[in-house]
Amino acid sequence: MIEFYGEIRVAHVAAVIASGGLFLVRGLLVLAGRPALALAAAPRYFSFAVDTTLLTAAMMLVAILPSAVFSNGWLAAKIVVLPVYVGLGWLALRAQKARLRNLALAGAVASYATMYAIARTHDPLGPVRAWLAS
């Protein structure tokens, strides 16, 4: 199955971008006072489909990559941040108080950015390591 690594990785990256973009649009709609539009069936089901594709591609990549890829902990760091992102994202879309929604949206975007940076650098500290070294 390693021969499909490139295609699976492209699908995973595309799903990451689609998932993050869709979440950001839905979060901004909630902040703009349009929660019914953000929480309507179509964007919710599209989000489910994109996230299912994302997680399926991720699991396929984990299954086909050699174990040496996981030796520095970068994948484990992403997996630790993922439930934080999901929880804050849920709060950003569903919390009753505007201040909590704002903070949750900011935290979810920061969590997404953290996972992205970890994935790009293949380092559990992401870009923080370069900052610590200087």
Give residue for tokens 């879309």.
93
Query: pLDDT per position in the chain (134 positions), as tens?
Result: 788 999 999 999 999 999 999 999 999 999 999 999 999 999 999 999 999 999 999 999 988 887 766 777 888 899 999 999 999 999 999 999 999 999 999 999 999 999 999 999 888 987 787 677 76
Q: Which residues contact 60 (CB under 8 A, 6 or more apart)?
A: 1, 8
pTM metric for this prediction: 0.87
- Could you tell me the CA-to-CA distances from 67 to 72, 73, 112 in Å, in that order? 11, 11, 25
How do the domains of the chain map onto residue ranges?
1-65, 72-134
Burial of 1 (0-12, 13-18, 19+ CB in 10 A): exposed
pLDDT of res. 127:
75
